[in-house]
Structure 1
């Protein structure tokens, strides 16, 4: 499974969204994700990919997060 699909699954599970709502271009703001949601998503991603996510990194979209994981795993 590609990084995007795993990240998408995590976001869908955490936010209760439909897969179709979570695309690479989708912003976390569009998903109505608050800071607690983002914290949980990041924790799940760190566990799934065994990567440390820099919370100071500028990640506004799903693509930003996927690219970060791909570059740091």
Structure 2
């Protein structure tokens, strides 16, 4: 799976979870600063990501931006 495919799926999850437009979810988007996601929001997003990609993510991973999350997903999916 390519990073673009991962990003597209992740973008759809974030748009649905936070009622955002596609233009509001970019690789540089900071999950807490730009989307205003709190720890519960992030937990829910990570659960949806794990289900969507059939992977397990460590909540302790430093995930601040959409790019960070794409990278973590890529590491798991393409391992």
Structure 1 and Structure 2 fold alike (TM over 0.5): yes
Provide the TM-score with structure 2 as the length reference: 0.88
Give every structure 1 segment of 4 or more consecutive aligned residues whose post-TM-superposition deviation is greater than 6 Å. Answer: none
**Structure 2 gap segments, 5+ residues each:** none
State the 1:36 CA deviation: 1.2
Aligned equivalents of 1:38, 1:45: Cα separation in 2 = 10
The yes-or-no answer on 1:28 pairing with 2:31 is: yes
Show the counterpart of 1:57: 61
Aligned equivalents of 2:16, 2:56: Cα separation in 1 = 20
**Structure 1 gap segments, 5+ residues each:** none
What is the aligned residue count? 73
Provide the TM-score with structure 1 as the length reference: 0.95
Give the superposed CA RMSD. Answer: 1.0
